[in-house]
């Protein structure tokens, strides 16, 4: 009689699929950020959050399935499960793909964070420039006097 694998191969296959989708989403996010198309990020962020929730649930399912077979509910437990079930080549390949894709996702997320920081710096600098221009252009207030101390005024005395 075959040993009950408690759905681990199916869970791992689904995880591999979702992590790959997550990587593609991060790549799309990176492209949008690089192109300065932050206006199109909202749908990608929503999809990323939904995928993350699904991945977290699959991780919990895999952990429970591993624990149910006497393994720790983490990467080490999956490594032990893989060592005990070398005949599960597809599941082991899917797990390795998941680990590889997760590392890629981590790096893309880091890069996207840097791009976001650059956009924030640029936006902050642009706002600072605009605010300085606004102050310089405010030569006279409604009463005809200079409204901002220290700003240059037009000397109208002759």
Q: Are 81 and 4 in contact (CB under 8 A)?
A: no
| C-alpha dihedral, 50 to 53 to 54 to 56, nearest 10° | 160
**What residue ranges do the domains of the chain occupy?**
8-109
Q: What was the pLDDT predicted at 146?
A: 59
pLDDT at 1: 39
Written as six digits, the tokens of 152 are 């240059």
Q: What confidence tier does 134 reach under pLDDT thresholds 50, 70, 90? A: low
Residue 147 pLDDT level (bands cut at 50, 70, 90): low
Asked whether the predicted pLDDT for residue 2 surpasses 70, the reply is no
Whether domain 8-109 has CATH 1.10.3720.10: no
Judged against a pLDDT cut of 70, whether residue 104 lies above it is answered with: yes
The mean per-residue pLDDT over the stretch 18-31 comes to 95
Asked whether residue 65 carries a pLDDT value surpassing 50, the answer given is yes
């Amino acid at each position: 009689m075959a040993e009950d694998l408690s759905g681990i191969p199916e869970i791992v296959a689904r995880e591999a699929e979702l992590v790959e989708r997550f990587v593609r989403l991060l790549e799309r996010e990176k492209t949008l950020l690089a192109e300065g198309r932050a206006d199109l990020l909202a749908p990608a962020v929503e999809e990323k959050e939904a995928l993350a929730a699904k991945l977290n649930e699959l991780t919990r399912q895999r952990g429970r399935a591993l624990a149910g077979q006497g393994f720790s509910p983490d990467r080490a437990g999956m490594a032990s499960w893989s060592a005990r079930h070398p005949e599960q080549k597809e599941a082991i390949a899917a797990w390795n793909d998941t680990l590889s894709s997760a590392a890629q996702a981590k790096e893309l997320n880091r890069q996207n964070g840097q791009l976001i920081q650059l956009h924030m710096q640029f936006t902050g600098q642009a706002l600072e420039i605009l605010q300085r221009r606004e102050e310089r252009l405010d030569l006279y207030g409604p009463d005809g006097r200079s409204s901002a101390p220290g700003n240059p005024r037009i000397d109208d005395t002759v």
